Chain A
């Protein structure tokens, strides 16, 4: 049973926004922070930010400040990551992951490929 299921692949034009969803199941959604990590082809994971599903508090990597918004809907145990002003360099697989304990990520979604192309 995979506790995090993400939305499907998406193709966007430069300048557009994308919103990726991450539906949690099998655990208490509000008890674990959700992190978003992206990975371009052939590159290592790049941490984007986190969100506390209970309070809605967020923290973003400086690189994405002003361009990313992480939200949640607790009634449907779903987290969202919206990235705006997309450019070709944003083409990547985007993952959500559950934080356990002080900061390790014990469960990951299957990933969502976002392609930015004109």
Chain B
């Protein structure tokens, strides 16, 4: 199985400042036929299911604020919140879908 790791485990950022979360996979997630990376990012707030933010490593979902962006390729990926807002306090997870057996990262908690 592909193992996903994330760093840091948690971070605290001032309002309006940038937050960056790293995700690393044990195998390349580059989808050869599409030349896209099979990584999604989710945001989860207490008592709620995860919410999809980004797929194909950098494609933002409709309705997701543009302060959220994804980047990276191969085995190393980053989710960036360019200007942290109070409502962004949550745990963030990466997920790979390179194989039919999906896996999630352990999560990164973002606080103010």
Residues in B with CB closer than 8 Å to A111 are 49
The one of A46, A62, A95, A102 in contact with B49, judged by C-beta atoms closer than 8 angstroms, is A95
Give the interface size class of chain A: 20 to 34
B92 to chain A, nearest CB (A): 10
A-B pairs with beta carbons under 8 A, tally: 61
Residues in B with CB closer than 8 Å to A59 are 100-101
B contact set with A: CB distance below 8 Å: 1, 31, 34, 38, 40, 42, 44, 49-52, 55-56, 61, 91, 93, 95, 97-98, 100-107
- 6 cross-chain CB contacts under 8 A: A45-B42, A45-B104, A47-B95, A59-B100, A59-B101, A109-B49
Given that A45-B93, A95-B49, A111-B49 are contacting pairs, would A105 and B40 also be in contact in the complex, using a CB cutoff of 8 Å? yes
Assembled-state Cα–Cα distance A106/B107 (Å): 18
> Is A26 positioned at the interface, with any CB of B under 8 Å from its CB?
no
Residues in B with CB closer than 8 Å to A102 are 31, 34, 38, 97
Given that A102-B31, A103-B97 are contacting pairs, would A35 and B102 also be in contact in the complex, using a CB cutoff of 8 Å? yes
Assembled-state Cα–Cα distance A33/B55 (Å): 16
Contact at B38–A50, with CB atoms within 8 Å?
no
> Is A108 positioned at the interface, with any CB of B under 8 Å from its CB?
yes
